[in-house]
Structure 1
Amino acid sequence: MLTDLSLTWLLVAFTVAGSIVVVASIRATALADIIADRTAVGEALVGGVLLGGATSLSGVVVSVTVAAQGDASFAFSNAVGGIAAQTLFLAIADTLHKRANLEHAAAEPANLFQCVMLLILLSLPVAAMAGPDVAYFGIHPVSVALFIAYAAGVRLAASVREEPMWEPVETGDTRTDDPGDAEDAHKSARGLVVVFVALAGAMALCGWVIGQTGQEFVTRFGLASSLVGSLVTAVVTSLPELVTTLVAVRRGALQLAVGGIIGGNTFDTLFLVFSDVAYRDGSLYHAVGMADLYWLATGLLMTAVLMAGLILRQREGPGRIGIESVLMMGIYGTAVAVEVVGA
């Protein structure tokens, strides 16, 4: 359907879909914060699972649709490129939180655990790519392992939040998870959840439009799939994470902001699972190129630096932000330069 559109209307469709995703994500962030208070689940866990998963739906639709159409590189780079971009958004948010380094203020065991889980999940595709090219019913065994690891990790993250075995040292700049008004906490969250699901559905639909227009850019202009996937569709479908992070920081929900990014990234690893299922020409991991692997390594490196920052908890570093934010900006900028020059 979109193949018949002129370039102008194709750009309009791409822009409108991206805008709807951003607007829906703003509302979803506010609802997630209230849902966290009313259900007593906690900002870090709601941000990591509910908000992170909802704002990632547009991205997963992009990866699955292009994988089903046989473009493995596009599907893979959209997933891992989005993880790198979303981690960068925490560094951007750090520049806006003037009181102290964001990673210092948002100390939370559940966020640290999710960082560890993300590193494990990102390591599994590396093992698949380096291992034998096998697929059963068109699915690589690592995809199954990745899905199981994600499900187990989410459950363990909940237990870390409920019964932490350690707690961060509180300082004057530490922002704890404040449940808000005690009277409001007893109100039902059912209606809010319904609205939240509707917003997630809208973002998923827009993800399909973004994926189809992205493939048209590849076809019409002869662009590399890894370039469009990692720097165009990945960034656009990741904009909800940028918006939700900035909105959460402005609302003072710092743990929600950090948890939303890390949780969104862990959910984004499932893009590879769903894409491997949708890709019918064998193992997805053995159909991608070195540029895609480079973005995967970038996501791993940025996550490791972020986790180090969460442990270090530097109050203030270069440019009044944490040293980890400076490093993450540098790593991402290098990856963009490598992708553009290589293309």
Structure 2
Amino acid sequence: MHIPATSLLQSLAFFTFSAACVWVAGARLAYLADALADRFKLGKSLVGLLLLSLATSLPEVATTLSAAAQQSRNLVLNNLFGGIALQTAILAMADFWAHGPITNYPRKANHALEATLLVLLLSVTLIITNLGETFVFAGVGLGSLCIAVIYGGAIWLLRRYDASSDWVPVDLPDPEPLVFPAPTGLGQAGNVNLIWQAVFACIAILVFGLLLVVFADRIADQSGLGTGFIGVTLLAGATSLPELSTSIAAVRIGAYTMAISNIFGSNLIMLVLVFPADILFRSGPILQNTSPMVSLSLAFGLTVTSIYLVGLIVRRKPWIGSIGLDSILVMLTFLASIAAYYYVR
């Protein structure tokens, strides 16, 4: 994508405009996904895991593959792994719009299983990055292939488990959605119309998401902060904007399970993108000789996911205002991660 040269102030202005467009498109997509789930009798958690998470991850997909083709290892890994703690913190921020802790709402074990499989995949990735890619074939490491295989198994298990009800919590909060006016016209729109609107929202997320990446990279160079720190902060934040807008919109209309699955599903996608990135990265295995920031971002991803896993299992947890203690701990951990990234940059 060729964009004319801009000054730092112009880059910031275009970055802000693109962010606003991504926000609007992401929120609209959440309403459309909720309407389509109701129309086709699909589970909200399944829609969040497979449809919404993939749609909101389009900027990450494009950014990762583009950076890998340009042989930018640090930008690929810092953007992917740095976005995991950030996207989990997005779920914590969405808790402000829920009636009580958001992790109290799931009625099946799907989300706890999603978090557990995410912890597994994060742990395997952390082990690979610390050991280095020992086995390499055609420039692609066995570790990245292993991550892709585990991801495929995780999605298969989650889809199969979606219809199961062998674990049911008690003392559940009121399932009624919040009183919030969803966009008018969705109830009267036909199925084809809803699908086309969702397609256009996805295209808007992809296009303006890519513009966010372009201007985030320019801001990194023009501000002198470098792609390492920018990769795990501004760039990861830019590509995570769709998840933020869709999650908040989903919570505001009471689609709590869709919001949770959207974030966990997006984080799983962030990890499996290592495999296609490794194929495009021709300077050796992409998980070999990684920087300390990569291991640090994976460790923080493990921490925030584990906090929410505990929150999903422990149904009666302390509240502060209307926010669950688990969400507060996730936000504090994310803030600590920013300080840690700056320290090791």
TM-score, with length taken from structure 2 = 0.89
- The CA deviation at 1:57 is 0.8
Q: Which residue of 2 aligns with 1:118?
A: 118
Partners of 1:93 and 1:10 in 2: how far apart? 28
Q: Which of 247, 250, 254 is matched with 1:248 structurally?
A: 250
The within-5 A match list for 1:255-274 is 255-274=257-276
Is the CA contact (8 Å cut-off) linking 2:56 and 2:202 kept in structure 1? yes
Partners of 2:203 and 2:143 in 1: how far apart? 28
One-letter identity of the residue aligned with 1:46: V
The within-5 A match list for 1:272-287 is 272-287=274-289
Partners of 1:210 and 1:10 in 2: how far apart? 9
One-letter identity of the residue aligned with 1:105: Y
One-letter identity of the residue aligned with 2:142: P
Partners of 1:138 and 1:203 in 2: how far apart? 32
Q: Which residue of 2 aligns with 1:57?
A: 58
Q: For 1:125-170, what per-residue CA distance to the aligned partner results, in whole angstroms no more than 9, with x for missing partners?
A: 2122123434322322222222222222222212211123222224
The within-5 A match list for 1:152-171 is 152-171=153-172
Q: For 1:56-107, what per-residue CA distance to the aligned partner results, in whole angstroms no more than 9, with x for missing partners?
A: 111221222222222211111111121111111222222332x322111234
Q: Which of 212, 215, 218 is matched with 1:213 structurally?
A: 215
Partners of 1:226 and 1:237 in 2: how far apart? 15
Q: Which residue of 2 aligns with 1:181?
A: none
The within-5 A match list for 1:174-185 is 174-175=174-175
Q: Which residue of 1 aligns with 2:130?
A: 130
Q: Which residue of 2 aligns with 1:180?
A: none
What stretches of structure 2 of length at least 5 have no aligned partner? Answer: 178-185
- The CA deviation at 1:47 is 0.8
Q: For 1:9-35, what per-residue CA distance to the aligned partner results, in whole angstroms no more than 9, with x for missing partners?
A: 322332232222211111110111111
Q: Which residue of 1 aligns with 2:89?
A: 88
Partners of 1:142 and 1:194 in 2: how far apart? 38
Partners of 2:126 and 2:304 in 1: how far apart? 16
Is the CA contact (8 Å cut-off) linking 2:250 and 2:258 kept in structure 1? yes
- The CA deviation at 1:299 is 0.5
Partners of 1:159 and 1:311 in 2: how far apart? 20
Partners of 1:211 and 1:274 in 2: how far apart? 19
Is the CA contact (8 Å cut-off) linking 1:105 and 1:175 kept in structure 2? yes
Partners of 1:246 and 1:218 in 2: how far apart? 28
Q: Which residue of 2 aligns with 1:342?
A: 344
The within-5 A match list for 1:13-92 is 13-92=14-93
Larger relative helix fraction: 1
Q: For 1:249-291, what per-residue CA distance to the aligned partner results, in whole angstroms no more than 9, with x for missing partners?
A: 1101111111111112112222322322222211111243001
Partners of 1:82 and 1:37 in 2: how far apart? 30
Partners of 2:70 and 2:289 in 1: how far apart? 13
Partners of 1:265 and 1:175 in 2: how far apart? 26
What's the secondary structure of 1:164's corresponding residue? coil
| Percentage of identical aligned residues | 28
Q: Which residue of 1 aligns with 2:104?
A: 104
Is the CA contact (8 Å cut-off) linking 2:8 and 2:219 kept in structure 1? no
Partners of 2:267 and 2:132 in 1: how far apart? 26
Q: Which residue of 1 aligns with 2:205?
A: 203
- The CA deviation at 1:124 is 2.4
TM-score, with length taken from structure 1 = 0.89
- Please identify, of 222-231 and 28-37, the stretch whose mean Cα deviation from structure 2 is larger: 222-231
RMSD of aligned C-alpha atoms?
2.4
What stretches of structure 1 of length at least 5 have no aligned partner? Answer: 178-183
Q: 1:6 to 1:132 in 2, by over 3 A?
A: closer
- The CA deviation at 1:339 is 1.6
